[in-house]
Amino acid sequence: MTAKRNAGLAPTRQRAGFGRWVTLALAMTLTPVAAMAQGAATGAAPQQPPVLPMPAVPEFKPLPPGTRPAAPVIGVFNTQMIMSQSVAVQKIEKELGTRREALVSDVRAEETQLQGIRQTILKSGKAPTPAQQQDLQKRVMADRTKFGNRSRILEEDAQVGLNQVQREIQQIVSAIARARGMTMVLQAGTAALHDNTLDISSEVVTHLNSTLPSVYIPGPNEDPEEIAKTGKYPVAPFQMNDQGGDQ
């Protein structure tokens, strides 16, 4: 949330980068002959780990005393609790729930019609003609495309709406952290135990409902992907997560 917090994450990223570099270096040093030897050894009996030389490395002497970091000022927030009490999220759930029910109803109605067509063919006592089979197959394929698209649009509508809420939460949490001088803000789920006085979730909910009581959701007959192509709104691929923001 703050520069100090980001600085604290840097060593972890450096170690991860170093690990990837070592893996790449080892892969590059594996010659074709060594690779063949590895493959041949796979089917052989298990062998003891090889004993390899371990050259000495320079001794690193203790450092002189340095400046101790200030005691951290910690905050905790619960995204799940915040989202459940968000007025905007409740509106999203209500609207998209109605659209989902309409989709389910249309799917069931179409299934009933298709079943009626099959029953009519069976009652005729004759095998379905190639034309009947082809027409039925075309209709089924068209239904899959149509209802599949509607289901995708519903999911993307939810992503568009919830992403707005998550981005606003991220801003509010950052603002509260700065106002209180917090140097570290954690998700409640990442803290095994914490004092309730550190929890800023209720304050986040208050600001969220005041600042963002509703969000934009594409209309029932609109495709979010087509809207993105119009340039009306900024676009970027994103993946929802539980950290109060997008990746």
CATH number assigned to the domain comprising residue 95: 3.30.910.20
CB 200 within 8 A of CB 73: no
Q: What dihedral angle (degrees, nearest 10) is formed by the CA atoms of 140, 142, 147, 150?
A: 180
Segment among 12-21, 44-53, 54-63 with least mean pLDDT = 12-21
What pLDDT is recorded for position 239? 54
> Residue 125 carries which DSSP code?
T
Residue 22 falls within a domain, yes or no? no
Question: How many structural domains comprise the chain?
Answer: 1
The three-state secondary structure class of 74 is strand
Residue 217 falls within a domain, yes or no? yes
Residue 175 falls within a domain, yes or no? yes
Residue 222 falls within a domain, yes or no? yes
CB 217 within 8 A of CB 161: yes
CB 107 within 8 A of CB 147: yes
Angle at 83 between CA 175 and CA 96, to 5 degrees: 130
Token reading at 232 = 């009306």
Residue 36 falls within a domain, yes or no? no
Give me the numbers of helices (H) and strands (E) for the chain, helices first please: 7, 2
- As a residue count, the chain comes to 247
Residue 198 falls within a domain, yes or no? yes
Structural domain for 169, as ranges: 74-107+156-230
Distance CA 140, CA 149 (A): 14
pLDDT in tens, 124-170: 888 889 999 999 999 999 999 999 999 999 999 999 999 999 999 99
Residue 18: φ, ψ to 5°: -65, -40
Query: Cβ of 52: how many Cβ atoms within 10 Å?
Result: 5
pLDDT in tens, 188-239: 888 877 888 899 999 999 999 999 999 999 999 999 999 999 888 888 665 5
Query: Cβ of 5: how many Cβ atoms within 10 Å?
Result: 15
What pLDDT is recorded for position 216? 94
Distance CA 223, CA 105 (A): 20
Residue 16 falls within a domain, yes or no? no
Which one-letter amino acid corresponds to residue 163?
A: N
Query: Cβ of 214: how many Cβ atoms within 10 Å?
Result: 12
Residue 102 falls within a domain, yes or no? yes
pLDDT in tens, 94-114: 999 999 999 999 999 999 999
Token reading at 64 = 């002189």
Q: Residue 76 belongs to what H/E stretch?
A: strand 74-77
